[in-house]
Amino acid sequence: MAVLRFLWQRVLAFDRIGSRIPQLIQIWFCELFFVMPLAFFIGKAIDIHGAFGVPGTGEKMGGAFWGALVVALVAGYFFVRSLVKPRIVEGSWAPTTHVDVGDFTVYATNNRARVNYVYLTSHPSYALLLLLTAPIPAAMAAMTINEGDSTFYWRVTGIVGLIILACMGLARILAWYVFRFGRKQLDYQLADLPVSPGRMGWQIAWKPVRCWWC
């Protein structure tokens, strides 16, 4: 781990680069590089051995697929760590206003009404980011569903990708509502706020991505 930390922070400087990239974009890229490479690897393994009445190709697993597995394992490590050992981060949100100037509508952020809030990196609203990745495997499965055995690899890869996405969304829900990783630390941070626990729990769970999505 010390070697990886040295490469990440000192050699590649990804910690300083990452600080300039919005949190949600970082999470989405991490999940994207976990889902798709893993789906490609598992899909190829199924294609080699055969399934659902389709005979396997019997070929060897190529180096590119082993490389995809390595990428998936690295990204998967960061995904699991964000659930099991979540960090408390601070977010902000401001409503958007607009005015009509001639034939144009100008939008601006109302910074006077900006609010700040804290939340965990494991909050379940991050599951909504999976909807940005879902069209990729969904298209792979839908476009090859009636195209015969020659497209079996792409079809099964799309199905595997959708299953992985569903499991990731379920993992976020379980980490927040069942296992409650990091919730004690967060509750301590919010103990003095004059807001009901139920309302605050809803805001912390869903507000960050809901505000960004809207």
| pLDDT tens column, 94-130 | 666 666 776 777 766 666 766 666 667 777 778 888 9
Handedness of CA 186, 191, 192, 195 (dihedral sign): positive
Task: Please report the pLDDT score of residue 195 as a whole number.
Answer: 47
Backbone φ and ψ for 33, nearest 5 degrees, come out as -80, -5
| pLDDT number for residue 161 | 97
Sequence-separated (6 or more) residues with CB below 8 Å from residue 126: 24, 27, 172, 208, 209
Weakly modelled stretches of the chain, pLDDT under 50: 7-8, 10-21, 194-198, 200, 208, 211-214
Closest CA to 133 of 40, 32, 46: 32
Which of these, 170, 212, 168, 175, lies nearest to 36 by C-alpha position?
168
- Say how many CA atoms lie within 13 Å of 169 toward its Cβ: 15
